[in-house]
Chain A
């Protein structure tokens, strides 16, 4: 019973981190059909920004994190407007090549600027202390992660379905020319969605820093996991990504508790089974 509770809690926390990072990639892949393998780099940038702001500039965590988010979103917007938008019409393989090159570049830049050590984010005392849930003690930070994941999911769903921006977004993706004719500012929508995706990735990087340590290779190291979540959840499906992230996160955690000598075999086995069963995503038919 204790084991089950442990698996569920740790799995949920891990899954939430994956979800928050994957959300942005799901958006760019599914809604904009742009393969951005540098997405992990945004998570890294967000995490690094938060780390440097809390440690070097001594900002409060609660101020540093939104600042880091904003910075990452701004960098994302800049990249999109100046460079990436020229690649929307290129083949997928070219997008892959370019974004991998970008990721390499960002890794090298991070290494040059901040060195190869792991960056730690200074947590406020509220988050650093362990919380005793009775049956289990866990760091308060994990509860924050779970909460944040649910909030992001809710906010994203609300934005896409209930706001005008969301309508524009869906129109811009489905029929860009018609949408343009109707006066929907396509370029703005694309740039804003990309920036939002980047910002969210940055948030994921910050929240996940305890689970996925921030070091220059971060940008490519966890990319596979994020791609897996997007694939299993279905490109562009936010609820799908959430479900996929939680399920896969729990499977991975369970395998660590029960069969750790098998490495990540069960994670990928589960992934293969789920993807084979529902090739277009968990919640799509």
Chain B
């Protein structure tokens, strides 16, 4: 009885596996997009999908004259074991030519040996820990790193009479990068970090941390949190506990992300951040990007994740062009290293040494325009490299 059961299960499973291996057109370039499509960070998956597909549509449906097939794989949350299995399958079974995506650092780390061995160029659309690009020469990054956006902010703060700052970051890779970057640059500029608060990644109630910030005696709080619920929770706690009134300025990076921005309401007005992309950036490239997004889905949001995917597909586009549609990882990466273009965020280029994107970082404040909240760019700090790797 039970062996019958088992045999049936195994046969069914074999059929299921066989049935999912649909063949695609032999000519199409295959790009595997790896990211969270379910779970609390599923919005990243949607943002990637919209950005990537909008880019291809904007090019007329083909990249460098070739059909492109996007294969999406769901990693859930930070799940390195599962990510590795998925990517292994993408490389070995689906025979993808390129990989894109990646929100969480451990997931990116997990696939480094795979992409190195198979020479698969992999574009990181989002993950922000500096050391990722060191793990394999086939990583190219079109997102940002914490060092990149924090160093100019620290310099600005020091120049603007802010002497005492308290840092409050989420206790994980990018958060610790943010804290280290701030401490290093701010103290170099003569400021003092009065306290360094680390918030557990699972925190939902931020008021204890906000109270600690209040009690620290600092003039400003520098913060970093992952996008989504943690972001929202912290900014709300900042507002509801009257920190702005107490004279503690908010200095952030990704916290006023367009995805959740409207939810803060007027309480968000005046929040200062340093970041590489604002949907309100005034340029033709940005207008084209937003147009393409809205064409695909009128509800699509233009933010750092969708622009990361858009620019990521641009890099893949150029790599396809450079290799004539053939699978040649080394040639593709060599071509990627030379890229420089006008992205929706501003002028960008790929740093040939680190394979990380060099881009303008802007100082922004949240203001109201056209009846909605926007990140208004006040000044540009100019092109910034990844200081985390340039030590």
Contact = CB atoms under 8 A, between A and B. Distances in A.
B371 interface: no
Nearest to B203: A256
Contacts of B42: 111, 116, 216
B203 A118 contact: no
Given A213-B233, A260-B200, A10 B263 contact: no
A10 B211 CA distance: 10
Contacts of A117: 43, 259-260
Nearest to B209: A256
Given A116-B43, A213-B204, A260 B242 contact: no
A120 to B, nearest CB: 5
A156 B233 CA distance: 31
Interface in B1-55: 38-40, 42-43, 46
A282 B229 CA distance: 33
Contacts of A263: 171, 200, 202
Nearest to A6: B211
B65 to A, nearest CB: 36
Contacts of B203: 256
B214 to A, nearest CB: 9
B240 A260 contact: no
B209 A213 contact: no
A120 B228 CA distance: 13
Nearest to A249: B205
Q: How large is the interface on A (under 10, 10 to 19, 20 to 34, 35 or more residues)?
A: 20 to 34
Contact of A138 (B40, B46, B207, B260): B207
Contacts of A137: 241-242
B215 interface: yes
Interface in A220-273: 221, 253, 256-257, 260-261, 263-264
Contact of B260 (A118, A136, A257): A118
Contacts of B288: none
Contact of A130 (B202, B215, B240): B240
A120 B242 contact: no
A19 interface: no
B38 to A, nearest CB: 8
B180 to A, nearest CB: 15
B242 A6 contact: no
Contacts of A10: 205, 207-208, 211
B212 interface: yes
B309 to A, nearest CB: 17
Contact of A118 (B38, B46, B207, B228): B228
B240 A139 contact: yes
A120 B263 contact: yes
B39 A217 contact: yes
B198 interface: yes
A238 B236 CA distance: 32
Contacts of B205: 10, 14, 211-212, 253, 256
Interface string A136-162: 111100000000000000000000000
Contacts of B204: 211-213
A161 to B, nearest CB: 33
A6 to B, nearest CB: 5
Nearest to A116: B42
A84 B278 CA distance: 50
Contacts of B208: 6-7, 10, 253, 256-257, 260
B232 interface: yes
Given A253-B205, A260-B200, A263-B171, 10 more contacts: A10-B205, A111-B38, A213-B229, A213-B232, A216-B40, A217-B39, A256-B203, A256-B205, A256-B208, A260-B198
12 contacts: A111-B42, A117-B43, A118-B232, A120-B263, A130-B241, A139-B241, A212-B205, A216-B42, A217-B39, A253-B205, A253-B208, A264-B202
